[in-house]
Structure 1
Amino acid sequence: MDRSSERWPGAAEVPQWTDKYFSRTADVVRRFGDVSVTYAVFMRRPVLYAPRLALGWLRHVTEERGTEVVVDSLYKEGEWVGAGEPMVTLTGSFMALSELETLFLQKLGACCVAAYNAFHMCMDLPGVAFLAMDARHCAGTEMADLMAYAASVGGKRARRKGEAKGFIGNATDATAHYFDRAEGSGTMPHSLIGYAGSTVRAAEMFHETHPDVDLVVLVDYFGREISDALAVCRRFPELAAQGRLGVRLDTHGGRYVEGLDTQSSYDVLERNARDAIRGYRSETELRYLIGTGVSAAALWHMRETLDHAGFPRTRIIASSGFSPAKCRVMAYAKAPVDVIGTGSYLPENWNETYATADIIAYDGKPRVKVGREFLLQRRPEAVRPPT
């Protein structure tokens, strides 16, 4: 069974997965007479409009059910939408649409928030390429499909608006098409380092198996980020010179990168980004600058070391908690990172992802519950009252 976001659930499964009160409402309308209704869909916070999968599912399931829905998108994909502004209206049979509301909203809200987050991360770091590494943080394959799509929407808007590199790829083959790729990106997890017994040996094994794939090597497994990065560069000097070698920093927050502590982290930033350490606004931002894990100081420390050793073209790939907030800090620290792998554009506050749909017209006559009259300000001409 095809369980992609645009296909699942199918028409036969809709009654099992929708809210029961919608199914019972459909029963009532079937008994007392159907009407045409218009739903307005909105969110309570600013978002980027990312409707493709929700609308694709709606189109698919209504075709299966033999019903028609008129869709009026009030924005284009990737456009900014303000809090409370209707994004799209759906007009059709009340009996048919009632059961579809729950599932449509599931596929819309989180995408719009994730796209918004992805966009701002890319805009803060326009010179950095991003990889969507969200799959392992998703609650199942359908969510992974939605989140990869969202990253692509945010990344494309950043390329249009800010000449940013944006999201250039992702982790899985199934969702690579959103980034115009045939397959997912990525080289090795920590488990391969453990299997090989050394960072250099893992790099050798990977390169022998995948010689045509650029070599990106995790260097934090043994807590020797600097030593192992240099050892890999010396083992593969040709790849380093060609820009086909990268070192990935994924140090967890329980310790400093090799060679750093609090004072030396301050020193690194004093040499490379003096204004950053004077501009932090919270303890969290200070931690991103000079704390444990993959800090701005850690990235500058790695860049200094590689350059001094004669490997200026070796790329630095960073991961580990790169949220919108962390990306903002990296921007004003001018952190020397080439690629960021992140799943942290996924919404942190899930209640912000709730899309809401209200009926604003019955048989073309405007009617909406008290408190939602603002939805009548933007609606299709077909449901506006005559002047």
Structure 2
Amino acid sequence: MPHKPDNTAGVTPADVTQLVPPAQAAELERQVAANTDAYFRKTKAIVERMGDKQVTYAVFMRRPVIFCPRLVVEWLEKMAAARGVKFQIDLCHEEGTWVGAGEPLLYLTGPMSQLVDLETLYLQKLGPACVAAYNAYSMCCDLPNARFLAMDARHCAGAEMADMMAYAASVGGRAARRDVGAAGFIGNATDATAHYFGNDKGFGTMPHALIGYAGSTLKAAELYAETFPGEQMTVLVDYYGQEVTDALAVCNRFPDAAQDGRLAVRLDTHGGRYVEGLDPQASYAVLERHVPNAIRQYRTEAELRWLVGTGVSAAALFHMRTTLDRAGFFNVKIVASSGFNAAKCKVMASVQAPIDIVGTGSYLPDHWTETYATADIVAYDGQPSVKVGREFLLQK
């Protein structure tokens, strides 16, 4: 039997002695029946007809992950309560722990008739979160001094996925804070999932739509300050292609906020153009001044673009920081967004790009096939049995 951690960072077995209300139980069963694979429903019918067995499932993934069991445990406990049974859930690792490819994540034991049709749904709640947490962890470790905001909701396939991804970012961020002292993820963009980060509400000030509505970046900042007086303000400065000009205009308009550190500028320049004041030659010159050896190392085409190319490059960030400092706005923060995935964060870290906050949804898995979790029965009525080739899943 694997070791079951004493502390699973908030994952605790629920009390299943109290059954859920009949209407809620019926709705849960309807959802399971509609969304599970047909062969699981047929197997359930056969087992119920021919005789039940106590089974143990091993759940694992084929790539390294950060373990995120909370959502699957909560759902399994809810289903157990709805069915009037108890499932034994043995977590092999603590929440936020790095787990290698093929290592069992958890063992799940209970009546086969009550477990066999749940596999599809509980795997959906486990795999994507574990991979997203791994990506979030990597990003936070690479940029330990930057704070991260989870801005993934618009890239998710519905509210359930958004819930999983926010949970994953919070777990990955906490793990990076624990392991390397990183600032990690401090919040996200929506109220619904803010609780994962210990917040009541989502963070954010203005989208590009507000800039367009106002007619100028400065006017948008003024409208925001008038509507939400005293709040910290992050101003998008790329709408009109005048990142430097508009950033300075806003700072000059709100000098007290700039001085007190309540003002930030957000670079979100798309990859179709350079930040104001830069071109290929100027970008190389900026990087040469700040990090002379950066472009003398071997770089892939993508890495070179992140350093001196269009969009939010390292050169653009150094350019903005230098401009703000020269104008005396040392306390104005820089928020970087636009394609900040794990690889881009690693490149920014290699040159110590001046980033205070990273707004990202790009910790979401790039390759969805990597998110597939798998479950196999490894024991029937206490007797070990698993398909050939999966013997490594047997309980030790």
- TM-score tier (shorter): over 0.9
Which residue number in structure 2 is paired with residue 3 of structure 1? none
Q: Among residues 235, 246, 251, which one is paired with 1:233 in the alignment?
A: 251
Structure 2 CA distance for aligned equivalents of residues 280 and 21 of structure 1:
52
Measured in 2, the distance between the counterparts of 1:327 and 1:9 equals 43
Match of 2:311 in 1: 293
For residue 274 of structure 1, report the CA deviation from its aligned partner. 1.7
CA distance in structure 2 between the aligned counterparts of 1:152 and 1:275, rounded to whole angstroms: 35
Instruction: Tell me if the contact between 1:114 and 1:150 (Cα under 8 Å) persists in the aligned partners.
Output: yes
Q: CA deviation at 1:8?
A: 12
Is 2:187 aligned against 1:165?
no
Aligned to 1:358: 376
Pick one of 72, 76, 89 that aligns with 2:107. 89
Name 1:212's counterpart in structure 2.
230
Hey, what's the Cα distance between the residues in 1 that align with 2:189 and 2:28? 27
Once the two structures are superposed, residues 165-220 of structure 1 have per-residue CA deviations (whole angstroms, 9 ceiling, x without a partner) of 00000000000000000100000000000000000000000011111320100000
Distance change in 2, residues 1:9/1:251 (3 Å): farther
Q: Residue 156 of structure 1 aligns with which residue?
A: 174
Cα 1:354/1:9, change in 2 over 3 Å: farther
What residue identity is the alignment partner of 1:322?
F
Instruction: Report what 1:190 is aligned to.
Output: 208
Give the C-alpha shift of residue 280 in structure 1.
4.2
Q: CA RMSD in A?
A: 1.2
> How does the TM-score come out when normalised to structure 2?
0.93
Query: Which structure 1 segments of 5+ residues have no match?
Result: 1-6
CA deviations 1:232-277 (Å, max 9, x no partner) are: 0000000000000000000000000000011110111111112222
CA deviations over 1:263-301 (Å, ceiling 9, x no partner): 110111111112222224310100010010000000000
Aligned partners of 1:8 and 1:57 also within 8 Å: no
CA separation of 1:308/1:302 partners in 2, compared to 1, >3 Å: closer, same or farther?
Answer: same
Per-residue CA deviations over 1:84-103 (Å, capped at 9, x if unaligned) read 00000000011110111000
Alignment counterpart, residue 349 of structure 1, candidates 359, 367, 383: 367
The secondary structure found in structure 2 opposite 1:10 is helix
Q: Does 1:14 align with 2:32?
A: yes
**After TM superposition, what 4+ stretches of structure 1 lie above 3 angstroms from structure 2?**
none
* Maintained 8 Å contact 1:169/1:181: yes
Q: What amino acid is aligned across from residue 39 of structure 1 in structure 2?
A: Y
- Deviations 1:280-328 (Å, cap 9, x if unpaired)? 4310100010010000000000000000111011100010000000000
> Pairwise mapping of residues 117-132 of structure 1 onto structure 2 (< 5 A)?
117-132=135-150
Q: Provide the aligned length of Structure 1 versus Structure 2.
A: 372
CA distance, structure 1, for counterparts of residue 362 and residue 267 of structure 2 = 16
Matched, 1:275 2:293: yes
Q: Does the C-alpha gap of structure 1 residues 8 and 276 become closer, same or farther in structure 2, counting only changes over 3 Å? A: farther
Which residue of 34, 38, 42 corresponds with 2:52? 34
* Corresponding residue to 1:108 among 122, 126, 129: 126
| TM value normalised by structure 1 | 0.95
Unpaired stretches in structure 2, ≥5 consecutive residues: 1-24
Residue number among 50, 57, 60 corresponding to 2:78 in the alignment:
60
Partner residue, 1:320: 338
1:245 to 263, 282, 303: 263
**Could you tell me which amino acid in structure 2 is paired with residue 195 of structure 1?**
Y
